[in-house]
Chains A and B, each alone.
Chain A
Amino acid sequence: MPLDTFRTETRAWLEANCPPSMRKPIASEADICWGGKDWTFTSEDQKIWLERMVEKGWTVPAWPKEYGGAGLSKEEAFILKEEMKAINARSPLDSFGIWMLGPALLKYGTHEQKLEHLPPIARGEIRWCQGYSEPGAGSDLASLRSKGVLNGDHYVVNGQKVWTSYADRSDWIFALVRTEADAPKHLGISFLLIDMDQPGVTTKPIKLISGKSPFCETFFDDAKALVANRLGEAGQGWEIAKYLLSHERAGIVSEAAFGGMNPVTAAHQSGEVDETGRLADPILRGDVARLTIDGLAFDATLRRIKEEGDHGEGVGARASMLKYVGTELNKRRHELNMSALGMDGLLWEGDKESDGDPARAWLRSRANSIEGGTSEIQLNIISKRVLNLPGA
């Protein structure tokens, strides 16, 4: 189909099918649809919107049709994204299955594994969480110690994960587990898909500075994982983990680039603008202008790197640059939101459900430069792999 026709048809379909309440900016966590066995829709519209998009294969537009996608080309997927953005349409489904595990399954999974796991992700039926970090293995992830021992058709897994986002609400976990005890650090790890609906897997929420508990400690006590649910070969886990991390970084970055409150809307909300709509505080105005400039620069850079990628130059380690720049930018945006909101930004609880959202979003943004590899780790990667600086 010519791209112009695709655009026209997409626009018309979205216009006819996206419920009006799904065309408002995501204001808080509650507006995001994560799916999963335990999911309760926050509104009827959220449910309808998901169902319609699932039917089109547009929750995962670029995945092949047989795995629940729509098989769109890169260009078509980009058009869909643009058209959704144009009417402020919310993403119908957001999940670690979509932006982290999916790409890894598509690249490393067998046909059977793809058929079993991808369609439920696309339909929002199974929710996944990521079991990488451990108490002793954060930035130095490859030092992880959770252990898997082969026993016939399955592994017996023991150990502890930490910072597992949404583990208490997830159905399955993709986990890095040391299965080859005698192999060197990076070569002894396998990538296992583990059903959390079993006695050997328990979770315990951790309370954050935002007052919420989006992540957990996850314990494996003689948990079972079928060998058929090992992605790739035994010992190939580190390679897959790194591949997946590049998608995780891209996801954190695109979150940073789009949507949500900005300091100008914040200032309008708090009344800190003059009659002409100018930000009342000239110094704040200057800071916001520099944020606008860096935002334009970041969008243009995403676009440029994508285009260069289409021309065969790998994104490669430059994903680390995007992750570093994008997350630092997002933190600045939230700091300026708080400044523009003034004392209104301090509100923690109130009559409205949305009271306290800006403060919590601001606090949440601090994690952007920690999760998915800290800013310091990204700078290390840029130094070594992009700039080729000598090792210490």
Chain B
Amino acid sequence: MSFVLNEEETMLRDGAQQFLEEQAPVTALRALRDSGDPVGFSRDLWAAMAEMGWCGILVGEDHGGVDMGCAAAGLVLEQIGRNLAASPFLSTAVLGASAFNLAGTDAQKAAWLPKIAAGETVIALALDERARHNPSHITTRAAKDGNGFRLTGAKRYAVNGAGADLLIVAARTEDERINLFLVSPEAAGVTRTSRRTLDSHVPADITFEDVKLDGDALLSGAEDSEAAYRHLLDIGRAAQAAEALGVGQKAFDLTLDYIREREQFGAPIGSFQGMQHRAAHLYGELELARSLVRRALTTLDTQPAQAPLWCAAAKAKATAVSRLAAAEGIQMYGGVGMTDEYDIGLYYKRAQAAGEFLGDDAFNAGEVARMSGY
């Protein structure tokens, strides 16, 4: 485990930076938003990401992936955050692939992982049922029905839900344990309602009314399905934290550029100590968040049993810091920071949305307290 990027990682980061700045700059997000895109991301971009090999970043080589690990996925996500690039990378290449890795049978892996790696599928995790993230509050039920199941319940704000062609649904089986099920959004009894959120993404509320599932819809490859489910969420937290870090870091960089240029009282506003101290404080906070994000991701790759604490800590810190960076950015821009024309407001909105997914700073601080035994 190392905090310093190795050569391969440096290449990946630099490649991601260049690719996303060219193919998915903030103007691309604005275009999706202004055209009212029904799914909130571009299929062309997704196909190009597949060509870069990113879709298989967590897929084993035997299934057509490049198997680079969570730390590598985090480097891509940080660049995604910096550019506000809208894509199903987190929901599909990270959470989708990890669900199969952790809980899929060999047959399920063979059926789906190659498709993920090739960029041929978009997956949404249908998890939360309440307004605030709560992974234990799962009331969706999968009742045994012959060799298969019948699924009933309602999910809210499934990320990338509008554009997904496969849903992975968290539901309780008759033994009260939480299991993951593969469900086609086109199946009879599935109703999907697009929700438009402030960051111009399009998640979906999804209801399941007595949806008939085959037996092999259950991801049944894990010894302990609930442990796999929790581990999946940990991976998601670290990954989402990496994106949030990118959002916060770029918001900060934009703000520094602005306060070096903008003049008032005959001097750059960045020369005023009131501005400098806010910026210097933010710098320290971003450094702390960066260390935790890297630590969480590398721990997932090398000592997964110790990862939960780091993942919750990283998610809590990155959420709070990215929100602060963008909020401080708006303040330091002054009036123009409130306009749609300037990008800083878009960063503020994405920071809030990324913060909510898989638990905000308050939720994850509670997890840290619980895991620390107090």
A binding-site residues for B, Cβ under 8 Å: 264, 267, 273, 277-279, 285-286, 288-290, 292-294, 296-298, 300-301, 303-304, 307-308, 311, 318, 321, 324-325, 376, 378-380, 382-384, 386-387, 389-392
Contacts and interface: CB of A to CB of B under 8 A. Distances in A.
Given A296-B310, A296-B313, A390 B374 contact: no
Nearest to A389: B270
Given A389-B259, A391-B271, A308 B287 contact: no
A165 B297 CA distance: 43
Contact of B291 (A304, A386, A387): A304
The 6 nearest A-B residue pairs measured at CB = A383-B276, A300-B291, A297-B288, A304-B3, A382-B280, A289-B365
Interface in B337-374: 361-362, 365-366, 368-369, 372-374
Given A289-B369, A303-B3, A307-B4, A389 B276 contact: yes
B288 A301 contact: yes
Contacts of A307: 2-4
Nearest to B259: A389
A286 B369 CA distance: 8
Nearest to B367: A289
Given A376-B277, A383-B277, A390-B268, A304 B289 contact: no
Given A292-B369, A304-B294, A392-B271, 13 more contacts: A278-B374, A289-B365, A293-B317, A300-B292, A304-B291, A307-B3, A321-B287, A325-B284, A325-B288, A378-B280, A383-B273, A387-B256, A389-B271
B280 to A, nearest CB: 4
Contact of B280 (A301, A304, A379, A392): A379
Interface string B254-278: 0010011000000110111101110
Interface string B229-265: 0000000000000000000000000001001100000
B13 interface: no
A227 B322 CA distance: 54
A292 B361 CA distance: 13
B279 interface: yes
B365 A392 contact: no
Contacts of B290: 301, 304
Contacts of A383: 273, 276-277, 279-280
B279 to A, nearest CB: 6
A67 to B, nearest CB: 31
Per DSSP, chain A at the interface is helix
A11 B288 CA distance: 32
B316 interface: yes
A324 B291 contact: no
A384 B270 CA distance: 10
B333 interface: no
With a 10 A CB-CB cut-off, give which of A301, A318, A380 has the most chain B CB atoms: A301
B155 to A, nearest CB: 28
B283 interface: yes
8 contacts: A267-B374, A278-B374, A289-B369, A293-B313, A293-B317, A297-B288, A297-B291, A389-B275
A386 B270 CA distance: 13
B295 interface: yes
Contacts of A301: 287-288, 290-291
A298 B276 contact: no
A390 B313 contact: no
- Residue among A267, A278, A292, A296 with max Cβ neighbours from chain B (10 Å): A296
Contacts of B294: 300, 304
Contact of A277 (B283, B316, B361, B374): B374
Given A290-B365, A389-B259, A390-B270, A297 B372 contact: no
Contact of A297 (B277, B280, B292): B292
Contacts of B284: 321, 324-325, 382
B171 to A, nearest CB: 30
